[in-house]
Structure 1
């Protein structure tokens, strides 16, 4: 009987640990759900603030080491050191393959190197992890336009605007593609 109680205690303790450690993940998902819902309904000034909160949340992996690799990759990308950016972001992806923002930033680095197949693959991975990532969808539109697919680019830009209606870069890109297609601007 004593062995049964000890095993039962261990099972209960394991269950409590699983629930306890799962709560922060569930809370972050809920927070992102709320922010994305607010973003689609917000007026322009408020939308910029909400978008910044979403971007900040997406840049946090839950691991200080992975967040550092992301920052180093982002810094290298901004400095134009695409090789270093890809190295840092690849390391982050290797250790945290569910970190959508690392996939996103590496897709940007690949795009800047004109390695479009690799950029498209990383976009696909990022969107599989976070399908509402409006900056990734915007990047997809830019890539499709670069590849001579303005109709698909326009679709991507429209999808990004459905999530973030006040994204200025996406709005300009969509207007440009729409003009190129010979359609009327909305």
Structure 2
């Protein structure tokens, strides 16, 4: 843990140095004629809103998956090189099943950037993998407060409900996923399966 903290401190100093260097560069002035041809810049929030509108309208599963990947790319950008690097290290540690190491990095991520929803979501995923359901749900809650449309986090909640044999809350969670991402096959399949199980129990 101490090693991770030292790495985080080093990366933050590099971030600060990069910002200072950028601030010292002279401003670049573009040709006024070019500016008249440019569209108004789309903010990150506007881009995500537009992609979610496209995702809600798209009925083709493959096309919807491509839109979802673009949303995930936007979500993964923290705005900090150091945080992005720690996210990559956490992912590599998780892939190697070094979950404690992954959690150390993600603890640093959510401490350094508490408004970064994907940091909480990734930590929720690691806790879920380790069957730390209460901790996973707490991180899911933080994720959804920052990004209520996070279908990955809602899917995680649905799986926890299923794993703990709470079928009706699981159904409600999968329905929430489909409200955001209607063409998600996994959510459709899970919702159908759970609905059949509940129907069978009532006979």
TM-score calculated relative to the size of structure 2:
0.75
Asked whether the 8 Å contact 2:93–2:101 carries over to 1, the reply is: yes
Query: For 2:50 and 2:96, how far apart are their aligned partners in 1?
Result: 34
The reply to whether residue 56 of structure 1 matches residue 73 of structure 2 is: yes
Pick one of 95, 109, 113 that aligns with 2:126: 109
Query: For 1:68 and 1:36, how far apart are their aligned partners in 2?
Result: 27
Query: For 2:113 and 2:126, how far apart are their aligned partners in 1?
Result: 18
Provide structure 1 residue ranges, at least 5 long, that are not aligned to the other structure: 1-22
Aligned counterparts, 1:3-82, within 5 A: 27-42=43-58, 43-82=60-99
Alpha-carbon shift at residue 172 of structure 1 (Å): 2.1
Alpha-carbon shift at residue 48 of structure 1 (Å): 0.9
Runs of 4+ in 1 over 4 A off after TM superposition: none
Alpha-carbon shift at residue 147 of structure 1 (Å): 1.7
Tell me the equivalent position of 2:37.
none
Alpha-carbon shift at residue 36 of structure 1 (Å): 0.4
Query: For 1:81 and 1:179, how far apart are their aligned partners in 2?
Result: 37
Pick one of 163, 171, 178 that aligns with 1:146: 163
Query: For 1:177 and 1:89, how far apart are their aligned partners in 2?
Result: 33
Alpha-carbon shift at residue 179 of structure 1 (Å): 2.0
TM-score calculated relative to the size of structure 1:
0.81
Tell me the equivalent position of 1:9.
none
Asked whether the 8 Å contact 2:77–2:84 carries over to 1, the reply is: yes
The reply to whether residue 123 of structure 1 matches residue 140 of structure 2 is: yes
Alignment CA distance shift 1:178-1:39 (3 Å): same
Higher relative contact order (CA 8 A, sep 6+): 2
Aligned residues: 160
Query: For 2:61 and 2:130, how far apart are their aligned partners in 1?
Result: 33
Alpha-carbon shift at residue 78 of structure 1 (Å): 2.2
Alpha-carbon shift at residue 127 of structure 1 (Å): 0.3
Alpha-carbon shift at residue 46 of structure 1 (Å): 1.7
Alpha-carbon shift at residue 100 of structure 1 (Å): 0.7
Tell me the equivalent position of 1:169.
186
